[in-house]
Amino acid sequence: MATLEEIKKQWQSGGRHPDQYDLTSYNQIIQRKMKTQRNAIFKYFWGTFAYHMIVYAMLTHVLVRFWSDTSIVVAALVGLAVTIPFTAIMVRRFSKMAADRFTGNDSAIVQFITRQHALLSGYFAFKKRYEWIMIPLQCAVGVFIVFHLYMPGGIIAHPLGAFITFGLSIAGCVEAIRLENRRNFKIPLENLENLIREDITSASDS
């Protein structure tokens, strides 16, 4: 199958491609590429959603099992309280993306891609801001619970170990988030921007 650039060159020269591509065919290619991008984007959603379910299950288990320990109860509630808003906003934003489907004519493709880009970039902006709060608190909760339950004397008796564990947790999360942001947001957003430009160009070339 011819590439998008080859098809555009055929139109610009006034010729016809042997496979008889026209503007509709070009837009169908754009739609397929958009579907590929959406599939890649939603891999992040399902992966993060599953991770959050694991976090909720673990914190709920600890909360119920150690209900008589006030320190554990407070730590578990903090972990839940800081994670729930992120999950709720993520589900709402990605539900909007999933519900927004292309149903118009070929000329409406660029509007559809633009909406998808706006929804994804809006969520990405929220994600970057909120993680500055959520990640340190989640790491602190995790370190506190582990040391409180499994290290005699807890973090008070092992301040250096707790500090090192917290620092390593933060460093690991920061690196994972950096890679995640590039793979699931920066590159997909760039690809969506390229699709918008390609669709606008195809309309002007036609």
In this structure, the number of other CB atoms found within 10 A of the CB of residue 101 comes to 9
Which of the 8 DSSP states describes residue 184?
I
198, with CB counted inside 10 A (0-12, 13-18, 19+), is buried
Q: pLDDT confidence of 11, banded at 50, 70, 90?
A: very low
Closest of 83, 82, 61 to residue 72, by C-alpha: 61
Segments making up each domain of the chain, as ranges = 24-205
pLDDT for the residue 52? 96
In this prediction, residue 128 has a pLDDT band, given cuts at 50, 70 and 90, of very high
- How many Å apart are CA 42 and CA 177, to the nearest integer? 16
**Cα separation, 138 vs 79, whole angstroms:** 6
Please identify which residue in the block is written with the tokens 């006034």. Answer: 14
Reported as a single tens digit per residue, the pLDDT across 57-90 is: 999 999 999 999 999 999 999 999 999 999 999 9
Give the ranges where the chain is alpha helix by DSSP (H). 4-12, 23-65, 70-99, 109-150, 154-157, 159-181, 187-205
Q: How many CB atoms lie within 10 A of CB 98?
A: 12
